[in-house]
Each structure stands twice: as C-alpha cells, then as structure tokens.
Chain A
Amino acid sequence: MSRITVKVGLASCGVAAGAMEVYHVLEQYQKHGADLNLVQTACIGMCFEEPIVELSGMDLGTISLGKVEAGQIIDFVESYQNGRIPSGNIILADKQEGKHNELLAGQYRIVLRNCGVIDPKSIADYEAHFGYTALRKALTMKPESIVEEVKSSGLRGRGGAGFSTGLKWSLAAKAKGSKKYVVCNADEGDPGAFMDRSTLEGDPHNVIEGMIIGAYAMGADEGYIYCRAEYPMAIHHLKTAIEAAEAKGYLGKNILGSGFNFDLHIKEGAGAFVCGEETALMQSIEGKRGMPTIRPPYPAASGLWGCPTNINNVETWANITWIINKGAAEFRKIGTEKSPGTKVFALAGKIAGSGLIEVPMGIPLRDIIYKVGGGMKTDKPFKAVQMGGPSGGCIPASMLDTIVDYDSINATGAIMGSGGMVVMDSGTCMVDVARFFLNFTQNESCGKCTFCRIGTRRMLEILTRITEGKGALEDIQHLEELATNIINGSLCGLGQTAPNPVLTTLRYFRDEYLAHIEAKHCPAGVCTSLLHYEIIADKCIGCTACSRKCPVTCISGAVKQVHMIDQNLCIKCGACYKACKFEAIRKG
C-alpha cells in the first residue's frame, strides 16, 4: 500500500459541524500504526458539506468526501488505500465523479487559493505554495514601483466602498512623517459575512505578507491587525503565523537582509460594529471608545496617534501577493474594466450551496445563485438577495441579470459591501428584513450624530408598527424623509448607509409594505401579529397532534373529530402548523 494523505478541514464551520471528532478518530488510527499522512487544513468554502475530508495519493486521484461522520471515516480511508472508491458522499474529485465538481468550475481563486489546501499553521506549507516569494520580489523593487504596480492593477478596496487601493497607498506613501502605520481591518461585523474569518483562518500568511509589502511600499515600520474577538480561531492562527514569520526573518528588524524593519501586532476588538469604520477603528486601537471622527484629515495624513496611516481590509491585503508575483497586467485580465480581479462572497440563507465562493467580477448574480451556489435550498422560489449587510440592500428576482461589479451593484441601491450575500425565498418577509437591519444599526449606532442615534430609532419604531399591523400610509413617507435626513446628517458610513435596507425594500417590494399597512396581512407569513391559523375542516382527520402540541391548549376537538382553534386564546406560535401532517392548518 502506498502512503496516502488525509486532509481534514478544521475551520470554525468545520469544527462546529463535528470535524474535530473525525480528526481525533484519524489520529488514534494513525497512532495504532496506520501508515498515512494526516494533515489539517481550513475551509475549502463548501460549508454546507462540512465536515469535509480529502483523500489523495492513490491512482484514484484526489477525492473529497462531505458530511463525514466519525464512525465512517476509517472505512473510507481503508477502501481508498485498497484502491476502491469510498462509498461515501463524494463532493469533489479530479478523476472521478464528484457531485459538486461544477460548483468550483465557475470560480477563480486568488484570495482563497490556499484556503482548504494548505495547513494554515505551517509556514513551511505556505512557502511550498509560493509563500513569501512576492515579498522577496518586492524587496528588490523600488517602493514607488510597488505602489505603481498596485495602482495599475486597478485593485479596489474590498471592504465595501471600492476606493482605488493604489491611490490610497500613494497618498500614504507621499505623506510627510518619519513614523507611519499600516492597518488591516479584520473587524468583520456585517451579519451574514464570514469571508475575512475564513481567509484569516485558512491562509493567514498571505494577509501578513501583503501587509509587509504594503509597509515597505509606503514606508511604514509598524502595523496592526484589528480582529474581532468573536473569531478566536482567526486570532490564534494569526498569532502562530506572526511568530513563525518573525522566526524566519520575514518580520522584525532588517527583513531578509534588506535593511527594512517592520513589526506587526494583533489588536482584538471588544464588540462594537462601528469599529469597522476606519476612524473609529483607530480610536479603538488607541484604547478609546470607538467613535468616528471627522474626515479630513484622512488617515493617510493623520491616523493612528496622529501619524500617516493606511487601512485596508483583509481581502484587499490578500490580493497583494498575487498582484506582485504575477503582475498588474495579469490581474487586469480577470474581471471587468472598472472592477478588475475577483470578489469573495459568503453565500448564506436559502441557498443550496451555502459557503464561501470567489468569482471573477462581472459575473451575473443569476450565475452566482444558480451555478456557483447550486440554486435554491427548497422548492420555494427565489425572492431577493441581500448584499452588503446593514449598509446594503435587497436585489429582487427581476434584477438577477445584474452583473457583479461596484458600479452595477451600486446602481441597484444595494452595495457590493464586504461580500455577504443572504439569499431569500418567498418565505422571507421584506418588511421584517428591513426591520431586522434597522434594529441592528440602531443598536450599533455610537450615538455621536443625532440623526443616526435618534433617526434610526424612529425608523425602527415605524417598521415595528408596520409589522404589528398598526402602520398607516403616511408611515412610508415618514420613513423616506427620515432616511434622507439620516444619510445627509451622519458623519460616518454606519449612519450614511443605515437607511439602505429600508430604501431598497421600499423601492422593490413596496406592495409588501402596503399589504402590511392596508390589508394587515404579511404575504410571507412571517410577522406573528398578522398571522392567523385556522383548521381546514375537510382535511382534519382528528388525530389530535395539533392539540397536544398547543402550548396554550386553545385547540379543542375529540379524537376523529374536526378540531377548532380558539382565536381569542391563540398566541400564533405556529406549533400546530408544524405538528399537522395532513396540511389541515391554514396559515395566513
């Protein structure tokens, strides 16, 4: 038998799905004499199939199995070692049929190229995949040529706003000052977004190497990675990676004999969404309340402790090594004229293939959802996709042919944002979604600007009223007025974009608002106060399943008799609806 490699995906999502148990079984198996090379890796992106195990080293080729249970894994390994195709759930394979082979076909991986491939805790593994070759190359270049290369690549900030990275770098490079900082914004706070978590967990060195190159290009000698504390594994992998890079001379004094010095620190966030805004983030690094400050001065002129500072997001930094290694011209071949390169998206919600994908810019939304994302999870039809989190908006089915680039997405009223895509079906209420986001921004508003602090609260109250069936027609006008005032009257991105979820749902799903207000009806059947459950006499066989589940015992009826719901006592919890096996309960 030849020696095979068994790779287990141990990122947060894999571990939550039970990958650690699978790994422990394999460890024991190895301890008892099995000849195999057991490797840890992070997330390949197919979170919906976790835990995932990849087998390689035999003529059968590489085979990845999904939803592996600890009790099955030894069988799979033994079959593979004996030259037989394992009888499990084969999701990817290079020489065999894998059920998701085509999902990867539509992707192009720059940022995620090593995620789920290498062991993120091994610097040697990163080096074996062209790791730190970009840094070696950069150190032979003049700093201004690096800035020029990034500028001509056309890379735009992947944190959401899409500002030219090269231009940002050139401003920080030209700024006067002997002390400069570079910062990585890893305060990924948008609900529904986990690109940065996966990138840091899966390939931390790529981000670190990008930052060292940026620091060299801009003349900074110190850097910070500001990571949210809710990502313990990302922080752990970063710490391991920084120590290893220091030991190898990629960080610290006189890097690779070039005379260039650079120290990198990790700052853990403490739970405040607004700290994703760059001026608030810097306040937080300085140990203060994370309140945004007025720009100008921009960080490039006066940032951390008053020194010129350049802040980029994780995904932006993760593009740098590829651009330096392969060149700006190569980068421009991918994506569109104004938005070159790729974008990583976190697919979640009612989509079959939830997880992480990286696609070339310019791909239509339809292809992301129906090809790369594998289509809808259930039979319910697609309704909208939410992009950009609390700063973004909902794009309806009629606009699925919109292509993904900064300008086209902005035109819909949503924003590219950091890359969260939450797919919604006919069972999602758009008024409820708008209320959800307003509740979020209202909670997270730092309170500095009056319109953001009080205006979002008023909008939330109106939306809550509408979902409770107490809305009036003029509420829609009030929402629109408040939205405009909040956008104009707020200092930072949080307030300026907070009304977007309401504005886009009003634009594309106004009839749903009207249904809640005029007909006191929630078409998606989500808003509890507007729901009404009744038993369909023709279908009820009197099995008593519903009355036994009802928490307030408001369903009456003897065995084999048609049941009745007492509407005065019903709390609209839906337990009866779920319990009924004969579709005899109508929800409306």
Chain B
Amino acid sequence: MEQDFSMLDAIISKYRNRSGILIPLLQDVQHTLGYLSKEAMRYVSVQMGIPAADIYGVATFYSMFKLKPQGKHIIRVCKGTACHVSDADGIKEALRSELGLQGDEDTTSDMMFTLMEVACLGCCSLAPVIMVDDTTYGKLNPESIKAILERYGEEA
C-alpha cells in the first residue's frame, strides 16, 4: 500500500527551487516523521526532482540522520576526551544494563529510549556527561544513572 506523505508537502514547497537545501530539508522531514524511511526519501526525491541516490548519500553520511525509528527520549552519551578519561564507558554500560539493551540494540523494545554516542557535547568540565533530549546531566557516576532514567520513565 502506498504511504501517505502529504504532511511533507508544506516542507517541500518551502525548499523547492532553492540550492544547497538538502540537509535542512531532510532535517525538517526527520523532525516531522521521527526518522528517514526509504519510502519518505523516495517521496522527497520524486517531489523535489533530486536523485534518490543523492538523498540516500547525504542521509547516510551525517550521523544526525536516522534511518530507523527512534525512541521517545534520545539519550546521548558524550564520548569526548574528557569524558573518556572520566569513565564514560562505565556510564554507557550502566545505561545499557538499566535499559536492558542487548547486543547491538540501541532502542528499547517499548520505544521509550534510544541510546547513542556523540563525539563531544562541549561540557568537558562536567565530565562525564550525558544529554537526555535537550537536558544535560554532568558529573555522573554509574550509580547516578537510575535516578535520571526514573524521571523519564514516570511520565510514560
């Protein structure tokens, strides 16, 4: 069955006939849909007249674009140098075990949380740091993870 992507039309018309817009266009599409599905990328390709290969090429080049559905809350574990020497790995392990993530899973089965690593959040003096959605938490230790996650679990 054909999926209905008419909710993207407003975004597409905003960018039509402008150059250098592919990245912000895809950012807006991802913001609306939560991720970039193959079908959505094809729809944008046809509507904009941009080859699907170019769209896929950009979507897979930049780490911000997600090709799979994401959890309701995004947890970013900072992997910067300062965090690395302050045991960011321990924080990541604590998060994975608290969220019950197995193997290379990055999203919880209830779609509440997606865990990802980011290069550096730039809050090095508070290392180790994680960011849940837009809120940054610093000076963490593996024991402090549970309390942070509970704040987000309750509203579910």
List A residues at the B interface (Cβ < 8 Å). 12-13, 15-17, 47-48, 50, 188-194, 197, 229-232, 267-273, 284-290, 305, 346-350, 354-355, 386, 389, 420, 422, 424, 428, 433, 436-437, 440, 444, 446
Residue from B57, B63, B82, B129 in contact with A192 in the complex, judged by beta carbons closer than 8 Å: B82
Min CB distance B34 to A, Å, is 16
Assess whether A192 is in contact with B64, with CB atoms less than 8 Å apart: no
State whether the Cβ of B108 lies closer than 8 Å to any Cβ in chain A: no
- What CA separation (Å) do A433 and B85 show in the bound complex? 8
Binds A, one of B1-9, B134-142, B145-153: B134-142
Min CB distance A70 to B, Å, is 16
Map CB proximity to A onto B94-123 as digits: 1 under 8 Å, 0 otherwise.
000000000000000000000000111111
Assess whether B64 is in contact with A424, with CB atoms less than 8 Å apart: no
Residue of B nearest to A231 (CB): B122
- Among all A-B residue pairs, the 9 with the closest Cβ atoms: A348-B124, A47-B125, A270-B62, A191-B80, A354-B125, A271-B63, A194-B122, A16-B136, A287-B22
Min CB distance A435 to B, Å, is 10
Assess whether A192 is in contact with B124, with CB atoms less than 8 Å apart: yes
Assess whether B27 is in contact with A12, with CB atoms less than 8 Å apart: no
- What CA separation (Å) do A232 and B122 show in the bound complex? 11
Assess whether A192 is in contact with B81, with CB atoms less than 8 Å apart: yes
Assess whether A188 is in contact with B122, with CB atoms less than 8 Å apart: yes
Residue from A47, A284, A420 in contact with B23 in the complex, judged by beta carbons closer than 8 Å: A284
Map CB proximity to A onto B67-108 as digits: 1 under 8 Å, 0 otherwise.
000000000000111111110000000000000000000000
Assess whether B85 is in contact with A194, with CB atoms less than 8 Å apart: no
List 18 additional contacts besides A12-B123, A13-B125, A191-B79; criterion CB under 8 Å.
A13-B123, A47-B125, A191-B120, A194-B124, A229-B64, A268-B23, A270-B26, A270-B27, A272-B63, A285-B20, A287-B21, A288-B54, A349-B85, A354-B82, A422-B81, A422-B85, A424-B85, A437-B81
- Chain B contacts for A15, CB-based, 8 A: 136
- What CA separation (Å) do A311 and B58 show in the bound complex? 23
- What CA separation (Å) do A48 and B83 show in the bound complex? 14
Q: How many chain-B residues does the 8 Å CB contact rule pick out?
A: 39
- What CA separation (Å) do A433 and B84 show in the bound complex? 9
- Chain A contacts for B12, CB-based, 8 A: none
- Chain A contacts for B124, CB-based, 8 A: 47, 192, 194, 346, 348-349, 354, 420, 422
Min CB distance B70 to A, Å, is 14
- Chain B contacts for A440, CB-based, 8 A: 79, 119
Assess whether A16 is in contact with B129, with CB atoms less than 8 Å apart: yes
Min CB distance A453 to B, Å, is 14
List B residues at the A interface (Cβ < 8 Å). 19-24, 26-27, 54, 57-58, 61-65, 79-86, 118-127, 129, 134, 136-138
Assess whether B134 is in contact with A232, with CB atoms less than 8 Å apart: yes
Min CB distance B50 to A, Å, is 9
Assess whether A287 is in contact with B20, with CB atoms less than 8 Å apart: yes
Known: A16-B123, A348-B124. A191 touches B61 (CB 8 A): no
Can you name 18 A-B residue pairings with CB atoms under 8 Å? A12-B122, A16-B136, A191-B81, A194-B122, A194-B123, A229-B27, A267-B23, A270-B65, A271-B118, A273-B119, A287-B21, A288-B54, A288-B58, A348-B124, A354-B124, A389-B81, A422-B124, A433-B84
Min CB distance B139 to A, Å, is 8
- Chain B contacts for A13, CB-based, 8 A: 123, 125-126
- Chain A contacts for B123, CB-based, 8 A: 12-13, 16, 47, 194
Assess whether B122 is in contact with A436, with CB atoms less than 8 Å apart: no
- Chain A contacts for B85, CB-based, 8 A: 349-350, 422, 424, 428, 433
- Chain B contacts for A194, CB-based, 8 A: 120, 122-124
Assess whether A190 is in contact with B58, with CB atoms less than 8 Å apart: no
Residue of A nearest to B21 (CB): A287
Known: A48-B125, A189-B120, A191-B119. A272 touches B81 (CB 8 A): no
Min CB distance B84 to A, Å, is 5
Residue from A17, A230, A270 in contact with B122 in the complex, judged by beta carbons closer than 8 Å: A230
- What CA separation (Å) do A15 and B137 show in the bound complex? 10
Min CB distance B125 to A, Å, is 3
- Chain B contacts for A270, CB-based, 8 A: 23, 26-27, 62-65
Residue from A12, A188, A189, A272 in contact with B136 in the complex, judged by beta carbons closer than 8 Å: A12
- Chain B contacts for A347, CB-based, 8 A: 125
- Chain A contacts for B54, CB-based, 8 A: 288
- What CA separation (Å) do A268 and B20 show in the bound complex? 12
- Chain B contacts for A289, CB-based, 8 A: 57-58, 61
Assess whether A349 is in contact with B82, with CB atoms less than 8 Å apart: yes
Assess whether B121 is in contact with A268, with CB atoms less than 8 Å apart: no
- What CA separation (Å) do A363 and B22 show in the bound complex? 45
Residue from B21, B27, B81 in contact with A420 in the complex, judged by beta carbons closer than 8 Å: B81
Residue of B nearest to A526 (CB): B85
- Chain B contacts for A286, CB-based, 8 A: 19-20
Min CB distance B92 to A, Å, is 14
- Chain A contacts for B126, CB-based, 8 A: 13, 16-17, 47, 50
- Chain B contacts for A229, CB-based, 8 A: 27, 64
- Chain A contacts for B138, CB-based, 8 A: 16-17
- Chain B contacts for A420, CB-based, 8 A: 81, 124
- Chain B contacts for A50, CB-based, 8 A: 125-126
